[in-house]
Chain A
Amino acid sequence: MESIISAKNLRKTFKDQRVLSDVTFNIKKGSVVGILGSNGAGKTTLLRTLVGFYNRDGGEAKIFNDSSPNLSAQTKHKIGFVAQESELLSWMKVKQIIKYTKSFYNVWDDALVSNLLKEWDIDSNKVIQKLSVGQQQKLSIILALAHKPEILILDEPVASLDPLSRRKFIKTLIDKNLDEETTILFSTHITSDLERVAAELLILKDGSVKFQGDVDELKETVAKLNIRASGSLPDDLMLPGQISMSKSGNVAQIVTEELKGIDINDLKQKLNADISIEKLSLEDIFVELHS
């Protein structure tokens, strides 16, 4: 399948702080990709550089073969973007900003807008400034969805939403992805949402891509080995891809990111030990990778 968002050796520096260093990835049409990373990992910078809010310092970032920030009008019309903090014309009423935003696009789904307004309990006669932070975020999401974009780029879109709204929003995303093959790229801290929606993960650490692949693939790769040996364990015990280890006498817990590269039976024999593999939750994996 064709790749519609790509980055190659993408670099971005603010003054003397390098935020993105040689970020490389490809996102195929119709994928749902969640970007996961700790605070300051470069998630927002990556998304803003992709859509042209920041100039890149090096490398390449492309959307539909247009190089950022020089996006064509056609490409821009295919993008729906929601920023981390909703940027709306706060003095307008909800219905005014809908009318205003609609004037930019050739395609506009009025039914979707009115349905979501109703579902998310947003009064269209209300002034935006008087909406709560969560409601403003919901309105931003509605405006980003209404022109039926082929790509949705969302920077922590659910951070201000309550759990119920989050689930509704995620359902909307999944529906759009399934019905219209919308490509979705979003950043978040909420790992449970990622497990619920993301078919693919992009983990950023210190401005670089630490992992790109399926959530299931990640869970197959990163796991905890519980080792109980009959004798004492060697002092220099080190497994391939070892992230962390806690050892006490003949018992050890080792987290590795290269589970597939370890022959468990061979290890059992070498250490003369019982070894069980414990699957980690996405949150645990995230913590381990950043520990």
Chain B
Amino acid sequence: MKSNLVILRTILSYNPITNIIGLVLYSLVAIVLIYSIASDKTEEVHGTVYFMLVMSASMIFVFNFSEKLGQLSKASFNHLLPNFNQKLIINILLVHLVLTGIPSILGYMAGLATVKLYLATNAIAFSVLVLNVFSVLLGSIWFAITILSLATEVSKIKKIDGYQAYQYLPIGQESLIAILIIFSIGLLLTVSSRPKNKQVKSKKCSTEEISVRYKKFELMNIIDRYWIVLKFKIYNALGMLKNRVEVALLSGQYQIITIFRFIIGVLVVMSLLNEDIKSFLLALQDGWAGDRNPSSNLSYNFIINTSIVWLSILASFDHSILTRFRFAQRYLWLKEPISGFKQFKLNYSSVLIKKIFIEIIATGTIWALMVFSFSTNTSTVLFLMLSFASFKAFSLLMGFWSLDRSHMKLVYFLAALFYVIYFAGWIFIALVLPLYGVAILSISIIIFAGLITRVYQRFMREQIING
């Protein structure tokens, strides 16, 4: 097989159903995007919105492809194949061209943007793609930060006359774009020669030393371990580890939740100290109230961005706690002196429910503080609080469901698809009158709660001790 497309063909044939659903989803987003831009004559910055949404939509595929590309790039075996490295680079560039390059060229040709905006969009999307191939976690964080930061900048452009995006930085926009492109190209070259470098470094090591060395220099492993050890020590010192389940629950997948908790912590602190975040939250408030307030700066893209961040935080927590819970069950099954399978599960489900409630109270309080800080309108406060409850319930439902189906890839993908559909529905609710919104959200919470109970029962009955 001498074709340069061999890598993409392999990925596409790996999971055709997922790719077909992704294609349909991508097309739908593209149609909605074009329609909404064409029909919205009042939006002053519709070019920016178009390009941000092009980038967001292309990420549907990027997150699908990048994991596989990353796996292929890590496998030493592949690097023994002739011209694999060049093919990898060509395929990554092709993915970018198809997903972001072509739609953004169309937008540019339609007069929706300047050359600078076109370059910026492509530079950011390309950096997200390459960083994702390098590490899905780092890519996701970079994507979230970029979207959040761009949303803040757009908010400021709208509010402050003559404001230039990122004008507070010591370097200009052109330099920023150039740095991003150079960084992405450098990373692309690193990714394409990753296993080769490892082989050179570990030339004189024994097999065991190699495995230790790789573990040693994995940044995420170091962060993970120190974080969990620190937590273990603090909890121990405070006497919070009263039972052995708590210790086992510290283990498992904790990377994502650690980082997202860090981000939310930073956001909360910054919101108290930083004007940019305040203006972002005000813009968010404007977006919700915009339909009823003629003087407001209507910014639905802010709602979208914040909601994506919130959904990510909630979903990552739920997934993390459920996965850790399952790991703890498996780990403790033969050790815990509890007779019978049902009793064992009952015992642990109470720990799970307690954990989830604590998390709901903690994140709910932060959300409530944010909402109350920026709104005095009771119906808006009620609406936002119900939105949070609805997001949380939906996130839990998806978490239970994906674990209940034993981490099936298709289920993960469908869960992501349902998130998008749910999210679109939520935006629709946000656009209708608050009274209807409150009613619809209340009903949806009741429905979700019922579904959660049902899925939870099944989850507990399933052979979840099996990993």
Q: Which residues of B contact A77 (CB under 8 A)?
A: 337
Tell me if A165 is interfacial: C-beta within 8 Å of chain B: no
Q: Which residue of A lies closest to B210 (CB)?
A: A132
Min CB distance B253 to A, Å, is 12
Question: B339 contacts A53, CB within 8 Å?
Answer: no
Chain B residues proximal to chain A, CB less than 8 Å: 208, 211-212, 215-216, 221, 224-225, 228-229, 232, 244, 247-248, 250-251, 330-331, 333-342, 463, 465-466
Question: A89 contacts B340, CB within 8 Å?
Answer: no
Question: A69 contacts B465, CB within 8 Å?
Answer: yes
Task: Report whether over half of chain B's contact residues are helix, strand or loop; otherwise say mixed.
Answer: helix
Q: Which of A79-107 contact B (CB under 8 A)?
A: 79, 81, 87, 89-92, 100-101, 103-105
Q: Which residues of B contact A73 (CB under 8 A)?
A: 336-339
Question: A81 contacts B339, CB within 8 Å?
Answer: no
Interchain pairs with CB closer than 8 A, number: 80
Tell me if A29 is interfacial: C-beta within 8 Å of chain B: no
Question: B247 contacts A79, CB within 8 Å?
Answer: no
Q: Which residues of A contact B229 (CB under 8 A)?
A: 91
Question: B333 contacts A89, CB within 8 Å?
Answer: no
Question: A76 contacts B247, CB within 8 Å?
Answer: no
Question: B244 contacts A104, CB within 8 Å?
Answer: yes
Q: Which residues of B contact A76 (CB under 8 A)?
A: 333-337
Q: Which residue of B lies closest to A143 (CB)?
A: B335
Question: B224 contacts A91, CB within 8 Å?
Answer: yes
Question: B251 contacts A53, CB within 8 Å?
Answer: no
Question: A53 contacts B228, CB within 8 Å?
Answer: no
Tell me if A54 is interfacial: C-beta within 8 Å of chain B: yes
Cα of A81 to Cα of B465 in the assembled complex, Å: 15
Q: Which residues of B contact A51 (CB under 8 A)?
A: 333-334
Tell me if A230 is interfacial: C-beta within 8 Å of chain B: no
Q: Which residues of A contact B248 (CB under 8 A)?
A: 89
Question: A52 contacts B330, CB within 8 Å?
Answer: no
Instruction: Select B466's contact among A54, A70, A134, beta carbons within 8 Å.
Output: A54
Q: Which residue of B lies closest to A75 (CB)?
A: B339
Question: A132 contacts B208, CB within 8 Å?
Answer: yes
Question: B221 contacts A129, CB within 8 Å?
Answer: yes
Q: Which of A245-278 contact B (CB under 8 A)?
A: none
Question: B208 contacts A69, CB within 8 Å?
Answer: no
Q: Which residues of A contact B466 (CB under 8 A)?
A: 48, 53-54
Min CB distance B216 to A, Å, is 7
Min CB distance A268 to B, Å, is 54
Ordered by A's residue number, 15 sampled pairs between the chains whose C-beta atoms are within 8 Å are A52-B465, A54-B463, A55-B463, A71-B341, A76-B333, A81-B334, A91-B229, A100-B244, A100-B247, A103-B244, A104-B335, A129-B215, A132-B208, A132-B211, A133-B211
Min CB distance A276 to B, Å, is 45
Contacts A76-B336, A87-B331 aside, 18 further interface pairs with beta carbons under 8 A come to: A54-B466, A55-B463, A69-B341, A73-B337, A74-B339, A77-B337, A79-B334, A81-B334, A87-B330, A89-B248, A89-B250, A89-B331, A91-B225, A91-B229, A104-B335, A104-B337, A129-B221, A129-B225
